[in-house]
Every structure is written in structure tokens, then in C-alpha cells.
A = this chain, B = another copy of it.
């Protein structure tokens, strides 16, 4: 049985571990600093499909299939699949995964979805409902631009604080078997809304949510930042990362030495013209399911916090003058 401690943290009792993981990304991500960590890089942004949305669906199918193959499992071995994406009505997940015929749990947490899906998968295993689960998310630059901003053909000018939606997907297979790393504790965040309204500055909107969840996790577990090898947010980018670090200093819990952000890691910010960094459900998923979990397996990291952040607005809510409620969830992986 899990156990809730403190305000919002859940200690997992079972040895729930990562049996397998895989990541697939697009061309731009494949030219970035993590290019050697991904399982596959697709230079064709359509992946042979006839729309960007279908291409995004294919990314999910490819990452799940790769994770299954690496663990010598098939879809028949999986009890539940937890998935989400940024597209309206989460069609990246439904069209990407429908042919797998795995009982399907649709999740929505914007760019926090990879942490949320992984947490809910771990709790499902902990409850006894499943032995093996898949958690998967995706995003695609072209489908996201069309849906949230402008069609690419418009050639819209991006603001300096805007982030670049990652074309990619990451998938994790969890089980109680002897995998690595293990999930020891999780925190499900509450929504934080400090009335940031700029859709082109998601980092600023999400930083307070990341700070709130990390702060509560450390407090609940009676640990400090120094107990971890890495506190990894996804995807605050340049602006949000700076704000997060300022908030944590103010709260007397500085994390800057140990902090990194998936949106800062996936691109070379100097040469790849992505402005404030990467973002999207697929960003934290692809970084986690490549560089990070691999470094845990080879012993480079022993104890990390993966804190994916999400901005829970829509273009409609923003056009109506709404703020950007944000959320962040923490998964504590230990080697």
C-alpha cells in the first residue's frame, strides 16, 4: 500500500520500477545536444502521414512499440496504458494507440502529462489493478503551432519568451519486476494561478506551480534539494527556470545548483533559434525517456526529482481574457 505523507506526497510501498523506456523525436531535436540519446530520429516531419496530427499519433505508436520491443514484451503483456497529448480531444493518443487494443486511460495535464501518467500508472500497479503499464505522451511542433498559435504558412514572429514545441514522444513501461530505476515517491500538484495571461510566456505561468510542488515534496518528505542528484523540471525554459530558482531562494530552499530543465536540455539555445527553450508534452517525455533514465541506469544519477509542469489554459480561455492556471507533478526516481 502507498501512504500519503504531509500535504500531497505519496510514498510508494511496492518496488515499482522502470522495465523499459523509449523516445522518438523529429529532426530539430535530433540535431540538438541529446541527439545520441534518443531511440529514433525522424527527419520527415510528417513521418509519412498526410497531416501533422496523424504524424503526432504515429510518434506515440512508435515510442510505445520501441519500449515494448526493448523489453521483449508485446501489447498483450500490458494491462493498462496511460496517455495524453496537447491536441484538442487528445487525438494524438487516441489515434496513435487505438490499434494496440490495450485498456486505455486518457489523461490531460498539458505539458505535465508525462509525470501525471507515470504517477497514475504507478498507483494502478500499487492498487493491484495492473502488473505492467505504459505511460506515454507526445507533442509535435507543427500541430501545436496550428492549434495554439498560427498556421506555419503565416510565418508569425515569435516573442523572445516563447518556447518551441518539441516534436517527439516518450514511453515508459512500469512493473513490479526488477527494473531500474524505481519510483519511490510522487506528488500530485494543485493548480496555481498567479494571473499570468501571456500565452507566449508559459514559463512565467508555470514556474510558481513547479515551485509549489517541489517545495511541498521536500517538506513532505523532510528532504532538502541536496538529497537529490538532479531536480529536473519540464518545461519551464529560460524564463520559467530563472523564476523558479528565484522563488526557491526566497523560500529558503535554493535548488539552482541541482536544477535543470528539459526545455533547456533538448535544444542548443545558442544555435537552434528556439528562443526560451523547448516545451510540449513530448519534451519532458523524450528527455526523461532518453538521457535521464539512461544516466540513472548507468549510475550517473542515483536519486532524482522529475517535475513536469503544465499550463492548463486553451486558446479560447486566453482569447476570453483568462489567466493561465498551471500545475506540476513530481516523480522521485531512485536507482
Contact = CB atoms under 8 A, between A and B. Distances in A.
A187 B130 CA distance: 12
Nearest to A3: B128
Interface stretch (A63-71, A253-261, A284-292, A307-315): A307-315
* Number of identical monomers bound together in the oligomeric complex: 2
A129 B313 CA distance: 27
Given A80-B188, A129-B10, A312 B107 contact: no
A105 B88 CA distance: 18
A13 interface: yes
B103 A188 contact: yes
A127 B126 contact: yes
Contacts of A120: 105, 120, 124
Nearest to A86: B89
A87 B51 contact: no
Interface of A: 1-4, 8, 10, 13, 50-51, 53-54, 79-80, 84, 86-91, 94-95, 97-99, 101-110, 113, 116, 120, 123-124, 126-131, 147, 187-191, 193, 312-317, 320, 322, 325, 327
Contacts of A325: 94-95, 98
A89 B188 contact: no
Contact of A320 (B54, B124, B317): B54
Given A4-B130, A131-B4, A191 B97 contact: yes
A193 B98 contact: yes
A101 B190 CA distance: 5
**For the complex of A and B, 8 pairs with smallest distance between CB atoms:** A1-B128, A89-B314, A94-B312, A127-B127, A2-B128, A98-B191, A126-B127, A106-B108
Contact of A108 (B51, B84, B313, B327): B84
13 contacts: A1-B1, A4-B131, A10-B128, A84-B108, A91-B317, A94-B312, A94-B325, A98-B191, A103-B187, A104-B190, A120-B120, A120-B124, A123-B127
B95 A317 contact: yes
A87 B189 CA distance: 22
Nearest to A103: B188
Contacts of A1: 1, 127-128
Contacts of A190: 101-104
Contacts of A97: 191
A108 B110 contact: no
Given A106-B108, A107-B107, 16 more contacts: A13-B128, A54-B320, A87-B316, A88-B89, A89-B312, A89-B313, A91-B312, A91-B322, A94-B325, A103-B188, A104-B191, A105-B188, A106-B107, A106-B109, A108-B108, A126-B128
Given A3-B128, A4-B128, A88-B315, A116 B123 contact: no
Contacts of A108: 84, 89-90, 106-108
Contacts of A147: 316
Given A103-B189, A129-B126, A314 B2 contact: no
A105 B97 CA distance: 21
